[in-house]
Amino acid sequence: MNSLSLSERLSVILVEPRHPGNIGMVCRAMANFGVSDLRLVNPCPHLHPEAHKMAVFAADLLGRARIHESLADALADLEISVATTRRSGRLRGELLDVAQLPERFAALSATGRAGLVFGREDAGLTNAEVALCSHAATIPSTARQGSLNLAQAVLICLYETCRGEFEDGRAPEAGERAAQGELTALFAEMEAVLRRIAFLNPARPEAVMNPLRDILRRAGLSVAEAGLLRGLWSQLGWSIRDWRGPRKGEENS
């Protein structure tokens, strides 16, 4: 049985936040729910006095924040990651209601970590960034005034997530789940092979890759299963290394 609560295994990831005050308010929201792992992707100056002012009693989280150059790097050790977005669309997959987050995080393995991912204040997350995450969720609101302040969004998501912590102390029995970095490596090998055999449209590879990612993420692959699939795709890549490619007219459209 894992002795750590969900809040202790939860990360908040901000992608390119542009206002130090917002980062400070996010720290305050995190402290309210016992979450201490803040990860920042290409942020504005997060140690700015305005950030400290707005963090109030949670200013220590600013100094402990981890800085990453890419979202993929920030997600690498996570089993489950949830992109928060207001926009829907075929390339964004199924959008969960934030109230469903506890049941999703209940699938974490005994030592697994999870993350909530938030985008830029003015533009949110790109389709490619949403695709890097294992799930996507939205906070239902009116169509006319649907956009929330960054810290407000973080606060709502943390409330919905942490109130469903493993209250009964149970842990999944399926074995250690593959971390985000392992899945990213698997997807890269898959894409390389599918490009080589012209199964992907070079102009829109995400039209195939995003559904494939969704399928494998829903499967909740264990470390061993992810390793098996990586070995399979690696062997496939090796077996077609001397293939000259599809004949003209056979490319996938």
Asked whether residue 175 is assigned to any structural domain, the reply reads: no
Q: Is residue 94 domain-shared with residue 65, that is, in the same domain?
A: yes
Q: Is residue 20 domain-shared with residue 104, that is, in the same domain?
A: yes
Q: Is residue 187 domain-shared with residue 149, that is, in the same domain?
A: no
Asked whether residue 245 is assigned to any structural domain, the reply reads: no
Q: Is residue 23 domain-shared with residue 121, that is, in the same domain?
A: yes
Q: Taking a C-beta distance cutoff of 8 angstroms, is the pair 102, 160 a contact? A: yes
Q: Is residue 63 domain-shared with residue 130, that is, in the same domain?
A: yes
Whether 83 has a pLDDT exceeding 90, the answer reads yes
Q: What is the Cα–Cα distance from 157 to 152, expressed in whole angstroms? A: 9
| 196-216: average pLDDT | 87
| 232-248: average pLDDT | 72
Whether 49 has a pLDDT exceeding 90, the answer reads yes
Whether 22 has a pLDDT exceeding 80, the answer reads yes
Q: Is residue 145 domain-shared with residue 217, that is, in the same domain?
A: no
Q: Is residue 198 domain-shared with residue 84, that is, in the same domain?
A: no
Asked whether residue 250 is assigned to any structural domain, the reply reads: no
Q: Is residue 151 domain-shared with residue 91, that is, in the same domain?
A: yes
Q: Is residue 27 domain-shared with residue 104, that is, in the same domain?
A: yes
Residue type, 132: L
Asked whether residue 210 is assigned to any structural domain, the reply reads: yes
Whether 197 has a pLDDT exceeding 80, the answer reads yes
Asked whether residue 191 is assigned to any structural domain, the reply reads: yes
Q: What is the Cα–Cα distance from 166 to 109, expressed in whole angstroms? A: 12
**CATH number of the domain where residue 151 is located:** 3.40.1280.10
| 198-202: average pLDDT | 86
Domain membership of residue 211 as a residue range? 180-239
Residue 196 has what pLDDT?
84
Confidence of residue 147 (pLDDT cuts 50, 70, 90): confident
Whether 229 has a pLDDT exceeding 90, the answer reads no
Confidence of residue 219 (pLDDT cuts 50, 70, 90): confident
Asked whether residue 216 is assigned to any structural domain, the reply reads: yes
Q: Is residue 46 domain-shared with residue 146, that is, in the same domain?
A: yes
Q: Is residue 156 domain-shared with residue 210, that is, in the same domain?
A: no
CA distances from residue 16 to 23, 43, 46, 69, 112 in whole angstroms, order as listed: 10, 5, 11, 10, 25
Q: Which of 162, 192, 219 is the C-terminal boundary of a domain?
A: 162
Q: Which of 130, 162, 194 is the C-terminal boundary of a domain?
A: 162
Asked whether residue 1 is assigned to any structural domain, the reply reads: no
- The sign of the dihedral angle between the CA atoms of 70, 72, 78, 83 is positive
Q: Is residue 147 domain-shared with residue 189, that is, in the same domain?
A: no
Q: In this predicted model, which residue has the larger pLDDT, 214 or 38?
A: 38
What average pLDDT does the chain have?
A: 83
Residue 144 has what pLDDT?
61
Max mean pLDDT among 35-44, 103-112, 130-139, 176-185 falls in 35-44
Asked whether residue 253 is assigned to any structural domain, the reply reads: no
Domain count, the chain: 2
**CATH number of the domain where residue 204 is located:** 1.10.8
